[in-house]
Structures are given as C-alpha cells and as structure tokens.
Amino acid sequence: MKLRQKVIFLAITPLILALIAIALAVRHQSVLLAQQQRETIQQAYLSSKEAELKHYVALASHAIAHLYESGRDDQATRDEAKRILSSLSYGDDGYFFVYDMQGNTLMHPRQPELVGQNLYGMRDEQGQPTIQNLLARARAGGGLERYRWVKPSTHKSGAKLGYVIPMPKWGWMLGTGIYLDDVDQALAKVDVQQSGNIHNTMLWIAAIAIAASVAVASSGLALNISELRVADAKLKVLAQRVVESQEEERARLSRDLHDGISQWLVSIKLQIEAGIIRLTSGLASGKAEQQQAAQAAFEHAADQLNNVMGEVRRISHNLRPAILDDLGLAAALHHLGQEYTLSSGTPVHFEAEGCTDDLPDVANTVLFRVAQEALTNIERHAGASRIEIRLTGEHGGVTLFIRDDGAGFDAEGIALHPKHGIGLRNMMERMDAIGGRFEIASSSDGTVVTAFAGNS
C-alpha cells in the first residue's frame, strides 16, 4: 500500500468506526426508547380499558340494583335481573355474563349454548383455568382478570380483559370484558412505525458515513495530488540547485587550481629549468656564482612547492576535512575557527560542552557544512569583529550555536528571495534532510544561528 493510500485509509477508518459506534448507540437507544414508548402506550390503553370496564359493570349493577336491593330472592326476580343484563350490550363483542359460585353459566347472551353448563374445570389453550380464576377474583371482592375467550364476531380465541364483582345475596358473579386485539393492533402499528423510524435513521447515518468517507477520500486525494505537485516542483528546484552548486563548486575548484596551484607550478617549472641551466653553466665554467644562483633557484622552487602543498591541503580540507573523520566534530569546528581567524583576522571563540561524539557521520558533516556556510556569510556580509561558536551535547542530540556581532540582515526577506540567500536555504535544506532543526535570528546587534541534529 502506497503512502497516500495509507494516509487516506488512516483518515477514513477512524471516521467509519466512529460512525458505526454512533449508529450502534443510536440504534440501542432507539430500541430502548421504542420499548419504553410501547410500554407507556400499552399501559395507557389498558388503564383506559380498565376504567371503561369498571364503568360498564357499575352501570350494569345499577340497572338491576332495584331488584337486588328489593329484598326478594325468588326465581322470577333473578330471571328479570338476567333479562335486563342480557339486554345490555356495547358493540358486537361487548356483553355481560353471570355465573354462580360453583361455575355454572347462568347468563351468556353471545353464547347461549353455554347456559346451564358447569365450566368450573374449563381451561383455555394455554392450560389456564379460566372460570376458576374469575371466581377467585370475585371471591376476593372483585377486580380485573386477563384470560382468553372466543370472540363472538370472529369465533376465534383472543386475549380478553375481564372485570367481575360478586353478588353475595344471590351467589352470583357478574362480569364483562373487552377483547384486547385492538390494543395489540395499535401496539403492532406503533412497533412498525418505530421500526421504520429506526431503519430510516440507520439509512441516514449510512448515507452520512458514505458521504463523509467520499469527502475525506476526495480531500485526501486532492491534497495528495497538490502535495505531489508541490513536491515535484521542490524536487525540480532542488535538483537545479544541486546542479548549480556543483557548477559553482567546480568553478571554484577551477579558479583555485588555475589561479593558485597552476601558476605556482608554472613558476616552479621555470625556476627549476633556470636552476638546471645555471647549474649546468656553473659546472661547465667552474664559476661558484652560477652554482649559488642555481641553488637559490632550487630553494625558491622548494618554498613554492610547500605553498602548493598547503594550497592542496586547503582545498582538500574545504572539500572534506580529514580531522572531522579522525578527531570528530568538535575538533573540526575548532580547527575551522582557527583557520578563519588566520585568514580573516576576526577572532573566533570556540567552546564545546557535553558529549558531542554520538552523532551519525552524516549529521557531523551537515553541522560542519552549516558552520562553514555561516562563517562564509559572516566574512562576506556581516563585518563582524567577534564570532562565537558553541557546540553543546544534550539528551537526544547536539546543538550548534554561531553568534556574531555584525550588522545583521532581514532573515525572512532573504530566505524568500528567489536569487539571494542561496547559502541560507542550503543550510535549511541540509538540516531538513537529516530531520534536524534550523533557526536564525538577526538584528542590528548581530546574528545567531542555531542548528540541532538528533542522535538517531
């Protein structure tokens, strides 16, 4: 997997995981809320049904209260009460029923075939003793009871909520009931609506996740393309600078060889030839003056050879100081400061603190080149009278400080100028290449260059 793909993957993956976690949390909370809402609606329905049943039974008891409270307990009075109760109804499935305390059916207007039968031992399809439970509720003073009973309008068994009261003077149980299929239908409708809402919410979250992923991927791709273009442009500029630096270095070496070593070698060649001629003439004529002149010519040629050797060492030192490899960075910087003092006359104070020997070779070379470039800039532009170089070893790396008391300059403006500040950009790019830090602060009081290189 390429770097840009890894970046996009690492950007999208946490987003997707976060949205999945949000979706799961929203779904869990939605399901929990739906259950609570269903229970609330169910409780509200049942409460209204319970109140309704109590009112129905109260109306029925009031309808026969004149007979029940009359004090008569003959069959005719009871038959009249059953006739009145059988005439009371509310809808196709709303009716009253009467049982005695032994479970015998005394009145059932929707199922007259049950009248006269003893249903005390009857059980529903779930094995529950229906009439026994109703009688137990009535003996306890009356109340609500859930059971299953055949619905007259559909002739199918359904859940029913009944309310019964005792009539102890006659030994009756009076009651009525409401079928709960409409409650179940209402709750099922609520469940469907809530399920649809949860499904739509999940779809919205999925759409948002897809849109966000596409947006992140598109942004990452656009950013990668932009960064790639910028990197290509920087690479081209850097390559051009490398070529220019190589050409400048070659030109400098060419000037050093032509203006210094080449001329000295030509002079040495002429002096050796002149010395040979004088030595030959002196030997032939036996004149001591010619021999002494030849000796002086050879001695002068030897002095110039020493100068040539010194120049060769200088050029070699500028290219790659051997002391950097042999004795380390601190010794190389100290020697660099001494050479600068000898060549320019400006004193350089060098100081090393802590351990500075743990840097990789490439970091040592970069810090040395930064010091070389800084001293070159100081000599060309600063007009400083004193220079301080401090090398500090600390935990994790080495810091190089170079301070001068020169005129200073506009560091930001020079760094952004397309034609100026090449040396400054070279220092920055060298430090960036090894993952170091480079800072420069300049004012009328002088300039401070700070470069940090890590141990790893």
DSSP state of 378: I
pLDDT tens-digit profile of 50-76? Answer: 888 899 999 999 999 999 888 788 889
Sign of CA dihedral 357, 363, 367, 373: positive
DSSP helix/strand/coil, 73: coil
How far apart CA 64 and CA 60 sit, in angstroms, is: 7
Average pLDDT over residues 110-131: 91
How far apart CA 336 and CA 99 sit, in angstroms, is: 121
Candidate from 19-28, 314-323, 325-334 with smallest mean pLDDT: 314-323
Query: Which residue carries 């031992």 as its tokens?
Result: 121
Average pLDDT over residues 5-25: 76
Judged against a pLDDT cut of 60, whether residue 2 lies above it is answered with yes
How far apart CA 407 and CA 382 sit, in angstroms, is: 5
Structure tokens at 99: 């049982």
What is the per-residue DSSP string for 273-339?
A: HHHHHHHHHHHHH--HHHHHHHHHHHHHHHHHHHHHHHHHHHHHHHH--HHHHHT-HHHHHHHHHHH
Model confidence, pTM: 0.42
Residue from 434, 433, 454, 427 nearest 370 by CA: 427
Question: Would you say 161 and 57 are in contact if contact means Cβ atoms under 8 Å apart?
Answer: no
DSSP H or E segment with residue 183: helix 181-255
Question: Would you say 142 and 164 are in contact if contact means Cβ atoms under 8 Å apart?
Answer: yes
**Would you state the pLDDT for residue 317?**
59
Structure tokens at 381: 């532009």
Structure tokens at 107: 């009145």
Question: Would you say 298 and 306 are in contact if contact means Cβ atoms under 8 Å apart?
Answer: no
Question: Would you say 14 and 216 are in contact if contact means Cβ atoms under 8 Å apart?
Answer: no
DSSP helix/strand/coil, 435: coil
Judged against a pLDDT cut of 60, whether residue 417 lies above it is answered with no
Strands (E), 84-242: 96-100, 105-107, 143-151, 156-167, 172-179
Average pLDDT over residues 320-342: 79
**Would you state the pLDDT for residue 336?**
83
Q: Model confidence at 131, in pLDDT bands (50, 70, 90)?
A: very high
How far apart CA 23 and CA 2 sit, in angstroms, is: 31
**Would you state the pLDDT for residue 313?**
65
Question: Would you say 119 and 131 are in contact if contact means Cβ atoms under 8 Å apart?
Answer: yes
pLDDT tens-digit profile of 220-273? Answer: 777 777 777 887 887 777 667 766 666 666 666 666 666 666 676 777 777 777
For the beta sheet containing 348-353, the strands, ordered from the edge strand earlier in sequence to the opposite edge, are 348-353, 387-394, 397-404, 446-454, 437-443
DSSP helix/strand/coil, 136: helix
* Distance in angstroms between the alpha carbons of the first and the last residue of the chain: 26
How far apart CA 271 and CA 302 sit, in angstroms, is: 10
DSSP H or E segment with residue 134: helix 130-139
Q: What is the dihedral of CA 216, 221, 226, 230, to 10 degrees?
A: 120
How far apart CA 126 and CA 287 sit, in angstroms, is: 150
For the beta sheet containing 96-100, the strands, ordered from the edge strand earlier in sequence to the opposite edge, are 105-107, 96-100, 172-179, 156-167, 143-151
Candidate from 70-74, 196-200, 307-311 with smallest mean pLDDT: 307-311
Structure tokens at 334: 């100290």
Q: Model confidence at 282, in pLDDT bands (50, 70, 90)?
A: low
Structure tokens at 404: 């001068």
**Would you state the pLDDT for residue 444?**
79
Judged against a pLDDT cut of 90, whether residue 119 lies above it is answered with yes
Residue of higher predicted confidence among 208 and 248: 208
Judged against a pLDDT cut of 80, whether residue 116 lies above it is answered with yes
**Would you state the pLDDT for residue 62?**
93
How far apart CA 355 and CA 392 sit, in angstroms, is: 8
Question: Would you say 324 and 332 are in contact if contact means Cβ atoms under 8 Å apart?
Answer: yes
Query: Which residue carries 């080149």 as its tokens?
Result: 369
How far apart CA 353 and CA 84 sit, in angstroms, is: 116
Structure tokens at 39: 């229970």
Angle at 145 between CA 143 and CA 151, to 5 degrees: 125
Radius of gyration of the chain (CA): 55
How far apart CA 74 and CA 71 sit, in angstroms, is: 10
